[in-house]
Amino acid sequence: MELVIFLAVFGVGFVSVIAVLLWVIWRKYRIVTIAIPAGTDLQAFHFKLSETIRSFGFRPDGNSGATSIFHAPGWQKWATGLQDISVAPAIGGVVQVTGPALGVGRVGRIFAGAATQSYAGPQPFGPLAKGMLRMFLLLIGLLALAFTAAYLSGA
């Protein structure tokens, strides 16, 4: 009976820790939109905005049309399914920046007057789940490799 109670407490604790970790990760990688007032000098604003996004490791797409697309670093796309950042052209003096909260939130803190807006599109749960599964399997593989090396060395 004591073993069942111990396993139940352990299971509840384990599920609670995993739920908190998933909640923290989801808040960083969900898609959000922010509106940034462009000001009067649009060329200087767009240069500052593109350099800010590039400083976080995102690469501009040379083939994008009116909407500028910045691609996430390859290792972050592989590891966490990180999405790209898109910058819509200024309408009414406001530029909309859409992307993962991790990158867009940092961009919003740099520009004065940035405000979050509602994002009605699909959230990328699938790529995030696949990325986290890849990281988990990589960790399991590294642990298996380390235990095999320790076993073969006679430790």
CATH for 31-153?
3.30.310
Burial 114-144 (b: 16+ CB within 10 A, else e): beeeebeeeebeeebeebbeeeeeeeeeeee
pLDDT in tens, 14-35: 889 888 877 887 788 888 899 9
Identify which of 6, 26, 2 has the alpha carbon closest to the alpha carbon of residue 14: 6
pLDDT at position 155 over 70: no
Identify which of 50, 39, 48 has the alpha carbon closest to the alpha carbon of residue 92: 39
Provide the mean pLDDT of the chain. Answer: 86
Q: Is the pTM of this model over 0.85?
A: no
Structure tokens at 132: 């986290």
Q: What is the pLDDT at residue 128?
A: 80
What does the pLDDT average to over 49-57? 89
Question: Would you list the DSSP string of 96-136?
Answer: EEEEEHHHHHHHHHHSTT-EEE---S---HHHHHHHHHHHH
pLDDT in tens, 123-153: 878 888 888 788 889 999 999 999 999 999 9
Structure tokens at 121: 């599109």
Q: What is the pLDDT at residue 64?
A: 62
Top pLDDT among 81 and 95 is at 95
